[in-house]
Amino acid sequence: MSLTQIGPVYSGRASAVRAGEVVLSLVASGLVGMQGWTGVRRLQHPYDRSLQLGLDRLAALCVRAGRDAPVGVQDLVGVWCAERPVDSWPLEFDADAQVDGERLLIGGEPSEFCLEWAVSAQDVVSEVHEGTLVKEIKKMAAQLGRPELYARWRLFVTEHAVLGPDEFMAAKNAVLDVPQWATWMEESYGRVTAEVTLGGRVAVCGGCGQWVAPRADGRVRCGVWRCARRADLPEPVWVEAQGARRLEPELVRFVALPGAPELDLARRLAARGARVVLYPKLDALDLVAVWPNGFSVGVDVKDWRSPYLLARRIKTFPTWGTDDPHAYSRGFLVVPHDRLRANRSYVKILTRRSEALRAQPQIEVVSDRDLVASCPDLGTLGEVVCGP
């Protein structure tokens, strides 16, 4: 194998850590690229380019460390990714990355650890579709002076994974005074193809609410990590595939799945009497909630396994004047309770690693349970709205 086009030679601890992270991100991204939405395909050429690049860099580092390198992509995927924990690879990582015992493939599917590292690598297809569509919707909503349109679109796609023909037509006609809305629906939902159906129907997961493609053996089991590890996962709901539309895979991954905990938190707060505005100012925050007693909070919800990777994704919270309709008294970064319970170092690593949190020490990291409990329940029902 030629090692002449591997990339720069790294020296020093910091450079070695960067080199390790590049390899891990490339390999993880390549595995997810092979997986798509239906599971890792049978090994065949051509491989995802990220996987080959990761293999090349890993091989170079193995040679440098005097270790045996993977013998091709099949060895990398079938042995290194499926059987060997990442901390046994000849790579260096920061302790806060918490790679000990982590594998990239579990049961032939990318692990949650793998999925999060893959997100940090560029996904060209998803960037072109999801990124471009989201930017277009935000731009048009701003030009029309209707910022709530973006929130309304995002809420809709989060709640609707599969639409029958009549439902899809109703969705396209839901905002008749904005002709672009129908185009947004067309670009958000693709036709249900044969490979995602079973017996003329498409399955919708009873846990996350997203469509699930059957595996090669005909089994239907959601690949979303939270669903995959649930012993009490509800049976899927089946929808007739004839004429149906399903949410585009990249929107499932980057909009609907992250949107689920945001919407869940909003509804739990509203049940205690809060008025919750979703995605104010074109997603400057996930939500702003006003308690029944008038206290207001600005919230971003982040459901990540790795605080080390999440720290790179946190943006500075916006500051708005007291006369702004979305002004808030305190800001909270909310992480699901089970993430904090499973990792006692989560908040410490997150606050240590995040430049945004260090710049705004008044922003508090709390669990979803704690935030909901802090909202006084006066026995009145609140509401979840999309603006203004």
Q: What is the residue extent of each domain of the chain?
A: 12-119, 124-252, 253-385
Confidence category of residue 277, pLDDT binned at 50, 70, 90: very high
| H or E element at residue 116 | helix 112-119
> What φ, ψ does residue 239 adopt, rounded to 5°?
-120, 135
Give the C-alpha distances (Å, rounded to integers) separating 305 from 221, 264, 270, 276: 21, 18, 27, 26
How do residues 136-164 score in pLDDT, each as one tens digit? Answer: 999 999 999 999 999 999 999 999 999 99
Q: Are the CB atoms for 291 and 274 separated by under 8 Å? A: yes
Q: What is the mean pLDDT of residues 277-281?
A: 97
CA atoms within a 13 Å half-sphere pointing along the CA-CB vector of 56: 16
Q: For residue 72, give the 3-state DSSP assignment.
A: helix
Q: What is the pLDDT of residue 49?
A: 80
How do residues 348-384 score in pLDDT, each as one tens digit? Answer: 999 999 999 999 999 999 999 999 999 999 999 999 9
Tell me which residue of 19, 18, 15 sits closest to 6, measured CA to CA.
19
How do residues 304-356 score in pLDDT, each as one tens digit? Answer: 999 999 999 999 999 999 999 999 999 999 999 999 999 999 999 999 999 99
Q: What is the pLDDT of residue 143?
A: 96
| Residues near 38 by beta carbon (within 8 Å), at least 6 away in sequence | 195, 196, 213, 215
Give the C-alpha distances (Å, rounded to integers) separating 376 from 271, 295, 362, 372, 386: 11, 10, 22, 9, 22
> What φ, ψ does residue 276 adopt, rounded to 5°?
-115, 125
Tell me which residue of 281, 268, 275, 266 sits closest to 326, measured CA to CA.
281
Query: What number of residues does the chain have?
Result: 388
In terms of Cβ atoms closer than 10 Å to its own Cβ (0-12, 13-18, 19+), residue 182 is middle
How do residues 59-103 score in pLDDT, each as one tens digit? Answer: 989 998 999 999 999 899 999 999 999 999 999 999 999 999 999
Q: Distance (Å, rounded) from C-alpha 315 to C-alpha 339?
A: 20
Q: What is the pLDDT of residue 35?
A: 62
How do residues 181-201 score in pLDDT, each as one tens digit? Answer: 999 999 899 999 888 899 999
